[in-house]
Chains A and B, each alone.
Chain A
Amino acid sequence: NAGVTQTPKFQVLKTGQSMTLQCAQDMNHNSMYWYRQDPGMGLRLIYYSASEGTTDKGEVPNGYNVSRLNKREFSLRLESAAPSQTSVYFCASSEAGRDFYEQYFGPGTRLTVT
């Protein structure tokens, strides 16, 4: 069981470039999430997918798009990267969203936008 995997681990982009962060889980979880982690701010939810075929905005969705490709995979796309999107990005999954289930996190992607 790999749990939650993310690619790439590191990325440097120039302002205006685009990229997609990939996430996959092998725990048969229904719900998946994308967070960003910035110093002193904890984790902030960007988008989530309650179940396959659905996606919804979180706290900080501007500048991002997501795709729930199937039950296993949930990708995050930056269409035109900005320096304010420099952050560490975490994907997570849980058995269900609207409940007491804990989340399982991937190892993160460290993104720098210059």
Chain B
Amino acid sequence: AQSVAQPEDQVNVAEGNPLTVKCTYSVSGNPYLFWYVQYPNRGLQFLLKYITGDNLVKGSYGFEAEFNKSQTSFHLKKPSALVSDSALYFCAVRDRDTGGFKTIFGAGTRLFVKA
């Protein structure tokens, strides 16, 4: 069965500091991995995805994520946080071999960036 864990409900970081939002996953096959961001009273917006190839994936707004197969992780990172990055972040996984149409979302991590 597929699952996604985001171990931190909330991450606090000062503006200008690097940020990391953690995600680990479990699939029986090979994963497609995604990060989405949700601003208040809005739908989710796609940030980046890992399909295959280079383990470091770059996405929108300066975010990047690193796929680590041995640790089954896909942590979201940004070198220098902005106040406007404050939002709810979701990691998601689809098993490319057996998952069919099902994308599993994590519970979300709320990021607060303090000025």
Contacts and interface: CB of A to CB of B under 8 A. Distances in A.
Interface of A: 4, 31, 35, 40-45, 48, 50, 56, 58-59, 90, 92, 97-100, 102-108
A59 B49 CA distance: 23
A102 B101 contact: no
Dominant SS among interface residues on chain B: loop
Nearest to A97: B101
Interface in B16-71: 32, 34, 36, 41-46, 49, 51
Contacts of A102: 34, 46, 49
Given A42-B107, A102-B49, 12 more contacts: A31-B101, A35-B105, A40-B108, A42-B90, A50-B101, A90-B44, A99-B32, A100-B32, A100-B96, A102-B34, A102-B46, A103-B103
Interface string B1-28: 0001000010000000000000000000
A21 B105 CA distance: 22
Contact of A58 (B49, B102, B106): B102
Nearest to A45: B102
B49 A100 contact: yes
A105 B107 contact: no
Residue with the greatest number of chain B CB neighbours at <10 A, chosen from A35, A43, A50, A106: A43
Interface in B56-115: 90, 94, 96, 100-103, 105-108
